[in-house]
């Protein structure tokens, strides 16, 4: 099975398990942008615990751009690195006001010019807030794409480029979001729960293989295998033995 085969089968299997959603609470692109910046080096739960009050106090880019940094730091303290994060979200908001009329841009080339916004954050915002295909590479996606043998790189930009060549654009956002969820629940960093993983019958890094019968493949997956001549040949029925 090639890396492309594994990518497509993994996308298909994970689609049956997880919705293509972010666990960051938001109601508009601005909130998604701020929440994603705050999510660095912390959990979505901790971000969701502070954003309701933050967005009630600063509902848009114009309001946050003129915020008192000390007040913002106090509000986002539970997310960690609050000095840097406060400076970043205030700076990004100011840039939105100055260059984009207070609106979150819909081009990755524009998003990555905002303070604290790299390709990962930009792709999350594009995919979740606007429905524009983007493959975000965070720590979970980096780990799972290597374990699945989709890439050997540790560079997020190279991983993004390699994996997006294996899947149609309409699958990019969903696959990234589902890899993140699977990485949090099953394919965890230190002790992956391989026996519970739906990918364990073809993942090169799996410590187990599905017992008993092979997991049934869908038509798409089966056609991939057939195209590469890996389908098992059917046994011909034995002729009946003559009676003496």
Active site residues: 120, 138
Are 207 and 192 in contact by the 8 Å Cβ rule? The answer is: yes
For the chain, the helix, strand and coil percentages under 3-state DSSP, each to the nearest 5:
55, 0, 45
Degrees, nearest 5: CA angle 90-94-97: 140
Work out whether the CA dihedral 23, 111, 136, 220 comes out positive or negative: positive
Q: How far apart are CA 95 and CA 99, in angstroms?
A: 6
Of 202, 200, 183, 181, the C-alpha closest to 191 is: 183
Residues 6+ apart with CB under 8 A from 151: 3, 145, 158, 159, 162, 163
Residues 6+ apart with CB under 8 A from 21: 128, 177
- Three state DSSP letters for 33-59: HHHHHHCCCCCHHHHHHHHHHHHHHCC
């Amino acid at each position: 099975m090639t890396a492309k085969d594994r990518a497509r089968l993994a996308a298909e299997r994970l689609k049956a398990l997880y919705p293509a959603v972010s666990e960051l609470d938001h109601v508009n692109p601005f909130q998604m942008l701020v929440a994603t910046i705050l999510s660095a080096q912390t959990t979505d739960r901790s971000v969701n615990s502070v954003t309701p009050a933050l967005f009630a106090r600063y509902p848009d880019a114009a309001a946050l751009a003129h915020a008192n940094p000390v007040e913002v730091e106090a509000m986002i303290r539970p997310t960690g690195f609050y000095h840097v994060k406060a400076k970043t979200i205030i700076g990004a908001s100011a840039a939105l006001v100055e260059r984009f009329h207070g609106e979150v841009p819909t081009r990755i080339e524009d998003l990555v010019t905002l303070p604290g916004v790299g390709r990962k954050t930009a792709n999350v915002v594009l995919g979740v807030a606007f429905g524009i295909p983007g493959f975000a590479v965070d720590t979970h996606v980096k780990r799972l794409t290597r374990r699945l043998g989709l890439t050997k790189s540790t560079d997020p930009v190279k991983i993004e480029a390699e994996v997006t060549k294996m899947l149609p654009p309409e699958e990019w956002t969903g696959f990234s979001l589902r890899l993140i969820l699977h990485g949090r629940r099953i394919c965890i960093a230190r002790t992956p729960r391989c026996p519970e993983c739906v990918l364990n019958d073809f993942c090169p890094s799996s410590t187990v293989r599905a017992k008993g019968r092979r997991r049934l493949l869908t038509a798409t997956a089966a056609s991939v295998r057939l195209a590469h001549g890996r389908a098992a040949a059917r046994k011909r029925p034995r002729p009946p033995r003559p009676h003496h």
